[in-house]
Amino acid sequence: MNHEELQIRTQSDIVLVRKAVRELTAKLGFGLTDQTKITTAASELARNTLEYGLGGHLEMETLKNDLGKSGIRLTFIDQGPGIADIALALTDGFTSGKGMGMGLSGSKRLMNEFTIDSEMGKGTRVSVTKWK
Amino acid sequence: MAEQNTHLSSLLQKNEQSLLTQWIEAQQRVIGTKISPQELKIQCMDFLRLMVEATHQDKSTSIDGPAWVTAKKMLAEVSKSRTNQGFSPSQTALFVFSLKRPLFDLLRKELVDRPNEFADAIWAITQILDQLGLYTAEMHQRSREEVINRQQADMLELSTPVVKLWDGILALPMIGTLDSNRTQIVMESLLQKIMETESEIAIIDITGVPTVDTLVAQHLIKTVTAARLMGTECIISGIRPQIAATIVHLGVELGNIATKSTLADAFKLALSRTGRSVSKTTTHSPATGMRK
Ligand SMILES: Nc1ncnc2c1ncn2[C@@H]1O[C@H](COP(=O)(O)OP(=O)(O)OP(=O)(O)O)[C@@H](O)[C@H]1O
Ligand SMILES: [Mg+2]
């Protein structure tokens, strides 16, 4: 349905991502708690795209399932180094940098659906969905 | 090359008045009266004189030499005031470029039967004016950047006001979207202020922070830990229900940091920790003193 692309190249792009996601979730009628959860997950994944994926972009889609329920899907795509061990990356507290190591696993808990594809040397694609 | 603006200086000087009139008219056709006619006239007169001097001292077609320093300084000032008045880069550079036409007309009249000299003179003046015009546009850009930097710095300052609630109790409301750089700076200045005031308790209020992700949480935890090492206990307040729910799902542990949902609750806790309490007085009926 609705589709929008946002660049993630700088710190301020992350702020813009959060703003765009918050506005879209509000427009879709998500409650305040869900708006906050989705925006926070977007913030985490956008930061990973910038810090580890060396920049990339976000695709924002609005969805409608068979039962007429609406949802939002956020897909973060980069052409960075990729993730060697996805299970390890998804472990609470694992970080290869200086973070808390909670971003990836936390985003998974904040959203309804979570898929991650990564290939070494090619890049990473993380897609998350939340239904109303 | 070095000889190419031989006539320019005397030419400018000899025709100052007519040049001035045409130059001012050319500018006013574009910018109207955005700048008062007197101000514009003074700027143009001053600059023409400086050009006469510079082209007299420096016969080359470059503006990099010492003869041009004063003229460029003036251009920088004009540029800055145009920027502050909201002129675009091209409107600002117009100050220089609009001199081309009147000068070319003048050259044509003066050198009508010396086509070679005419061509040389046109080339020389074009080079000089182009450099001056670009310089003006560059100065415009620089002034813009200064304005932006200043605003950014203002924002950082603004985002960490310190409110003294009681002796030894500070409140630090954090406001706005925190990107990585800003979070770092905001946290550092919080610590600075805690240190300066040697407070027992600091309440960090995050009511005005729309998103608390792992980065913000990590900085908060680091700040509280650092403050503790300096002998100051922190309370985090303003954690709205939706933020609390999100932090839990994110899996971030605020550990043994005291948190309260409102600043008022945090203040109450701070008072009791410093051996004080707030109680209602019973001697007066409420609100009588408040009414007219
Ligand atoms: N897009 C990506 N490209 C390459 N590696 C990634 C990417 N996203 C995550 N990773 C790897 O997965 C690890 C875990 O990511 P996660 O977001 O959970 O933690 P973090 O970013 O290190 O810290 P935090 O998000 O808590 O501040 C990262 O340290 C990094 O090694
Ligand atoms: Mg992360």
- For B4-26, how does the pLDDT look when each residue is reduced to its tens digit (9 = 90+)? 677 788 889 999 999 999 999 99
Predicted local confidence at residue B95, as pLDDT: 95
d(CA B235, ligand 1 centre) in Å: 29
Same domain, B147 and B196: no
Predicted local confidence at residue B159, as pLDDT: 59
The residue whose C-alpha atom lies closest to atom 28 belonging to ligand 1 is: A95
Q: Does residue A123 line the site of ligand 1, with CB under 6 A? A: no
At residue B156, does pLDDT exceed 70?
no
Predicted local confidence at residue B2, as pLDDT: 42
DSSP B210: S
ipTM value of the model?
A: 0.92
Residues of A in contact with B210 (CB under 8 A): 18, 22, 39
The answer to whether A130 contacts chain B (CB < 8 Å) is no
Q: Is residue B83 part of a domain?
A: yes
Q: How confident is the model at residue A118 (pLDDT cuts 50, 70, 90)?
A: very high
Same domain, B230 and B147: no
- List domains and CATH numbers for chain A: 3-131 (3.30.565.10)
Tell me the pLDDT tens digit for each residue of A70-116: 999 999 999 999 999 999 999 999 999 999 999 999 999 999 999 99
Tell me the pLDDT tens digit for each residue of B169-212: 999 888 776 666 667 777 787 788 888 888 899 999 999 888 89
Pairing of strands B233-237, B258-260: parallel
Same domain, B17 and B116: yes
Same domain, B257 and B125: no
What torsion do the CA atoms of B212, B217, B219, B225 make, to the nearest 10 degrees?
140
Please compute the mean of the pLDDT values over residues B28-41 and round it to a whole number. 90
- Residue B150: which domain range? 2-154
H helical segments located in chain B:
8-14, 16-31, 37-57, 69-84, 89-97, 100-110, 115-158, 180-197, 214-229, 241-250, 263-273
Domain of B141: which CATH number? 1.10.490
Domain of B180: which CATH number? 3.30.750.24
Predicted local confidence at residue B181, as pLDDT: 66
